[in-house]
A = this chain, B = another copy of it.
Amino acid sequence: MINLDDLKYDNGLIQAIAQDNDTKEVLMSAFMNREALEKTIETGIAHYWSRSRGKLWKKGESSGHMQTVKAIYIDCDMDAVLLMIEQEGGACHTGYRSCFYRNIEGDVIGKKVFDPEDVY
């Protein structure tokens, strides 16, 4: 087991990427502190650190769109983790399956899977 003390936290945080375990689509990118990573490992459900709210964030707690974690990978310099997940509903609070639903040209290329007004 990787020692969680060996991770390179920057202001207490590491990058966390969630990738769909089946389709390999990257669904979101967020941050974790050590507690969020511990909770994720313990429970098998993705937890992050919400920078905007300044607190631990169990993904899907209000929307029901939880992420079941199938594997966790860690990068070479130990400042990022990659979660292979099964996504309930959509990862994005705007209703899209992935948070990366636009290209840099500004076109919407993502798939809307729920109406945010129905779940928040």
Once A1-B106, A73-B100, A104-B73 are accepted as A-B contacts, the answer to whether A17 and B29 lie under 8 Å apart by CB is yes
| Residue A72 lies at the interface, judged by CB distance under 8 Å to chain B | yes
Inter-subunit contact B17/A104 (CB<8 Å): no
Which residues of B lie under 8 Å from residue A28 when comparing CB positions? Answer: 75
B94 near A76 with CB under 8 A, answer yes
Q: Which residues of A approach B to under 8 Å, CB–CB?
A: 1-2, 15, 17, 19, 23-26, 28-29, 41, 71-77, 80-82, 92-94, 96, 99-106, 109
Q: How far is the CB of A59 from chain B (nearest CB, A)?
A: 14
How far, in Å, is A66 (CB) from chain B's closest CB? 18
Known contacts A72-B103, A100-B75, A102-B74, A15 near B2 by CB under 8 Å: no
Is B103 in contact with A74, judged by CB distance below 8 angstroms?
A: yes
Residues of B within 8 A of A109 (CB): 73
- Asked whether B15 lies within 8 Å of A29 as measured between CB atoms, the reply is yes
CB distance B101 to A76 under 8 Å?
yes
Contact A75 B103 (CB under 8 A): no
Interface contacts beyond A15-B29, A73-B109: sample of 5 additional A-B pairs, CB < 8 Å, sorted by A: A15-B15, A41-B104, A73-B100, A73-B102, A77-B99
